[in-house]
Amino acid sequence: MMDIFLCLKQPSRMVDSKRMRMTSNFQWILLTFLLLYLMNQVSSQKKRTPHDLKCVTNNLQVWDCSWRAPSGAGRGAAYEVCIENGSHSCYRLEKNTKIPALSPGDHEVTINFGSSISKFTLNEKDVSFIPDTPEILNLSADFSTSTLHLKWNDKGSVFPRHSNVIWEIKILRKKNMEIVKIMTHNTTLNGKDTVHHWSWTSDMPLECATHYVGIRCHIDDPKFSGHKEWSNWSLLKNISWSSDSQTKVFPQDKVILVGSDITVCCVTQEKVVLALIGSTNCPLIHLDGENVAIKIHNISASESSGTNVVFSVEDNMFGTVIFAGYPPDIPQKLNCETYDLKEIVCTWNPGRPTSLVGPRNTSYTLFESFSGKCVRYKRAEVPTNESYQLFFQMLSNQEIYNFTLNARNPLGQSESTLLVNVTEKVHPHTPTSVKVKDINSTAVTLSWHLPGNFAKIKLLCQIEINKTNSVHELRNITMKGVENSSYLIAVDKLNPYTIYTFRIRCSTKPFWKWSKWSNEKQYLTTEAIPSKGPDTWREWSSDGKNLIIYWKPLSINEANGKILSYNVSCSSDEETQSLSEILDPQHKAEIQLDKNDYIISVVAKNSVGSSPPSKIASMEIPNDDLKIEQAVGMGNGILLTWNYDPNMTCDYVIKWCNSSRSEPCLMDWKKVPSNSTETVIESDQFRPGVRYNFFLYGCRNQGYQLLRSIIGYVEELAPTVAPNFTVEDTSADSILVRWEDIPVEELRGFLRGYLFYFEKGERDTSKMRGLESGRSDIKVKNITDISQKTLRIVDLQGKTSYHLVLRAYTDGGMGPEKSMFVVTKENSVGLIIAILIPVAVAVIVGVVTSILCYRKREWEAVLLKHWK
């Protein structure tokens, strides 16, 4: 063709453009015609011989080859096919031939048809591997879980070696075959026919619409170099729910995880007009016929009654309940212990609430691996304190237990494990039946019942001992456990005739937990002889004839019982005199004695016996060098001090009384050892602002000498009244005032002075304000000599009104004020002038009057003469 083209005469450049265009078009038309002719010749040649050889395999062992028949060949035309594959093989057959798989490499294939011969080169790379169409053995459905179960055979026995297979499964829905999902499933061919199972859970209840399933495969044989292609899709299998004519909603009572999506459908023959979840309107998804569905996204946790879903038709409503919750949390704080070494109790906290109740609630199973035994939790209506417990019977000769607590609900399961030696985790029951019995006045036996068999271990028990107004005492006791649960111990070092309260708790060794405290048991110990005699003092009566003996009641710890009476006696070198028995609660006796020396003895008695005698001497040693001192306390007491005196061989006694009370002065007394030099006197009877007399006695040779006499206050206060004062005398330039003492009860402290204020002022007009403000018109005199009772105020103005104010003060503060108004007298010069002026005025008035009377008579005479 190129030769033809080259032989064409080239056009002259001088030819006009139109001619050149016509020549070029002609050449192209000629070339196209030649090409079509040659192609037609080739096609005619092919049609007269076999052509287009193709080979496929579905099992890698046999190749199925085919070709296009030559034109004119009948349907039953015979061919001779020869393949060069090491041994020359020839086949006489019709259009297609199945040949064993050829070894890798090129092979010459000759096809003879009559006189025509076609030759091909065949290589494995040109062969297509298309597996047989899979066949679904079975398609079933679990409508309760909306799950499809698929079963098929991989026919692996027909393949020569192991190969990986990819199965592609498609799920379609509704009559219009909407593809819902295409998923893959991987398996391996192992030379045997294997039945495979595959499951898929639909997001829509299977009752809502018909579901279809198809399957195809792709086999990846690593040694096959040809084209690997997908098989054809299997025939579709379907699952449908045969409904009656009644309207139904699916799923029913479904339990799902919080935050999930769920599809709810209504299968009906009526038109649905509305769908609600709770009170929220949901858009409808139309399915086959009148069936509809709704999609709920990210559902929230349900109330205990569940979440309602309602579909409405024209005249009715249909619905279901959805329960959205959580799978069980891992059991928290799992603890297993025993109360009695007979039964193990395991407790735990369920953790996060699941929002599922009733039949959907979490169930618990406790499994022990060494014994293989398990117990299941029986749910109470309301768990105590948000915790759960299970009881597991202990096994003989087993101390170590390996527990697994499994929690399960419709949404999942969890577990917690614990390995425990129960002999080290004993939490005993509360001791009961506590009893107390006497041993003596200072010891008792204490018995109690502790349920459990503790014969193989030791117990550690704690006894709490309480008595009134005392810090409670704890005693720890280690004892061997017993099998019969009864325990007995002795408790000593108690006080006689004392009410004790006992209670007990127990643990084990090694320590794990204390039991709860037992109920309290109160008990009064028996009486004993009083441990000491009463604290005694004596005073002579005001007339000096009788000696009055005082004593204080013994404390509970000293009396050791109920004091019934007292024996008082006095003795001298010559005789002993006893008074009649004095019954409690009298704590005073009076004996007529002379001034001789006597020893007074006081004995306290209870039902068991008498106390040691308390002795005190009647003699009082005079002290001529005694001064009255002052002292101020610290608010709640008063400190007294003195110098050490080696001559004081017995003790010191401080007595005190209220100064305002009549003789004999005795409120209370206190004894301190002879080597003391100070003491603080405190009493609940002390009151601020009250004066007390304190007397310090020293004991020497069985006689008492008054060493110090003190008046004092535990706390000073300001006076409650002002001193009463009067004006003794007034003159033209001075005023003399006198005031009285303030009574001790109203003074309320040691008097330290007076403040006297004065200023000019009339009654009802003068108001002395700001006495302490330093006003220049107010005069102030501070009188610190408390023995002073008068004051003359001088340098005053005559016949002038003055406002006087008087106040007393102590270290506790300034007392109230008392005031009066006083007018000074007139001075002598003024008095003379006051006398002369009225006299002069009287004389002048008299003279004037006389003159006027004389002139009047003259005027009357003249007038009378004229009228006549």
Check: CB of residue 572 under 8 Å from CB of residue 598. yes
Q: What is the mean pLDDT of residues 811-819?
A: 93
Average pLDDT, the chain: 86
Q: What is the mean pLDDT of residues 124-131?
A: 90
In the block, tokens 């990819």 appear at 166
Averaged pLDDT for residues 439-452: 95
Flag the least confident range among 103-112, 208-217, 278-287, 419-428: 103-112
What is the separation of C-alpha 606 from the centre of its chain, rounded to a whole number of angstroms?
56
Which tokens go with 191? 């030379």
Residue with more model confidence, 14 or 632: 632
Closest CA to 791 of 717, 836, 726, 860: 726
Place of tokens 């009057």: 849
Q: Is the pLDDT of residue 679 over 90?
A: yes
Place of tokens 């704080």: 333
Cβ count near 223 (within 10 Å): 10
Query: What pLDDT does residue 778 have?
Result: 86
Residues constituting the chain: 868
Query: How far lies 712's CA from each of 628, 639, 690, in Å?
Result: 10, 10, 8
Is 5 a residue whose pLDDT tops 70? Answer: no
Contact 34, 2 (CB under 8 A): no
Residues 761/802, Cβ–Cβ less than 8 Å: yes
Residue 8 pLDDT greater than 50, yes or no: no
Per-residue pLDDT, averaged over 565-578, amounts to 87
Residue type, 349: N
391 has a pLDDT exceeding 50: yes
Q: Could you identify the residue written with the tokens 């409508």?
A: 143
User: Phi and psi for 611 in degrees, rounded to 5?
Assistant: -80, 165
Lowest mean pLDDT among 154-163, 411-420, 721-730: 154-163
Asked if pLDDT for residue 12 goes beyond 50, the answer is: no
- pLDDT of 845 reads 55
Contacts of 389 (CB under 8 A, 6+ apart): 345, 346, 347, 348
* Mean pLDDT for the stretch of residues 398-422: 95
Give the per-residue pLDDT at 664: 64
**Residue 734: count of CB within 10 angstroms of its CB:** 14
Cβ-contact 698, 691 below 8 angstroms: no
pLDDT for position 540: 87
Report strand pairing: 363-368 vs 400-409: antiparallel
**Distance (Å) of CA 456 to CA 336, 511, 514:** 20, 15, 18
pLDDT at 647 over 80: yes
| DSSP classification of residue 72 | T
512 within 8 A of 460, measured Cβ to Cβ = no
Contacts of 435 (CB under 8 A, 6+ apart): 446, 447, 448, 521
pLDDT of residue 862 exceeding 50, the answer is no
Q: What is the mean pLDDT of residues 780-794?
A: 93
Instruction: Provide the CA 751 distance to its chain's centre, in angstroms.
Output: 61
Give the residue carrying structure tokens 């026995």.
Answer: 157
Contact of 736 with 790, CB cutoff 8 Å? yes
**pLDDT number for residue 41:** 55
> Would you state the pLDDT for residue 475?
95
Q: What is the mean pLDDT of residues 423-437?
A: 95
Q: Is the peptide bond before 664 cis (omega within 30 degrees of 0)?
A: yes
Distance CA 91, CA 85 (A): 13
pLDDT > 90 fraction of the chain, expressed in percent and rounded: 60
For residue 854, pLDDT over 80 is answered with no
Give φ, ψ of 834 to 5 degrees.
Answer: -65, -30
The tokens for 263 are: 């599809």
Number of H-type helices and E-type strands within the chain: 5, 62
Q: Can you name the residues that pair with 819 across neighbouring β-strands? A: 805
Report whether pLDDT(782) > 90.
yes
Q: Is the peptide bond before 646 cis (omega within 30 degrees of 0)?
A: no
Of 444, 549, 553, nearest in space to 502 by CA:
444
The pLDDT value recorded for residue 124 is: 86
Between residues 578 and 694, the one the model is more confident about: 694
In the predicted structure, residue 380 carries a pLDDT above the cut 60: no
pLDDT value of position 859: 42
More confident position, 96 or 623: 623
Residue appearing with tokens 């990846």: 220
CA dihedral 851, 854, 856, 860 (to 10 degrees): -170
Average pLDDT on 476-500 reads 93
Q: What is the mean pLDDT of residues 289-301?
A: 93
pLDDT digits (tens, 9 = 90+) for 350-361: 999 999 988 899
Per-residue pLDDT reduced to its tens digit, 15-24: 444 445 555 6
Angstrom distance (rounded) from CA 691 to CA 709? 13
C-alpha pair distances (Å), 392 with each of 346, 372, 389, 485: 8, 12, 10, 21
Looking at the DSSP bridge assignments, the partners of residue 823 are: 801
Q: How confident is the model at residue 123 (pLDDT cuts 50, 70, 90)?
A: confident
Question: Residue 175: which residues within 8 A CB-CB, separation 6 or more?
Answer: 210, 288
Q: What is the tens place of the pLDDT at every residue in 308-350?
A: 999 999 889 999 999 999 999 999 999 999 999 999 999 999 9
What tokens does 374 get?
């398990």
Quick one: tokens of 77?
A: 């035309």
The model's pLDDT over 827-849, given as tens digits with 9 standing for 90+, comes to 755 444 455 555 455 556 555 55
Residue 636 has pLDDT above 90, yes or no: no
pLDDT of residue 867: 37
Least confidently predicted of 378-387, 429-438, 642-651, 657-666: 378-387
Tell the residue number behind the tokens 């008579």, with chain if given.
857
Query: CA torsion sign, 651 to 657 to 663 to 664?
Result: negative
Give the pLDDT of residue 836: 52
Tell me what pLDDT residue 108 has.
83
Tokens of 111: 């096809």
Max distance between CA atoms of the chain, in angstroms, equals 221
Average pLDDT over residues 449-477: 92
**Residue whose C-alpha is closest to residue 685's, from 714, 718, 710, 654:** 714
Q: For the ranges 256-260, 377-381, 665-669, 745-749, which has the lowest average pLDDT?
A: 377-381
Sign of the Cα torsion 121, 124, 126, 129 reads: positive
Measured in degrees and rounded to the nearest 5, phi and psi for residue 20 equal -65, -40
334, 677, 739 from 819: Cα distances, Å? 86, 48, 12
Q: What are phi and psi of 4, to 5 degrees?
A: -60, -45
Q: Which residues contact 471 (CB under 8 A, 6 or more apart)?
A: none
The pLDDT of residue 791: 94
Q: How far apart are the C-alpha atoms of 325 and 419, rounded to whole Å?
A: 31
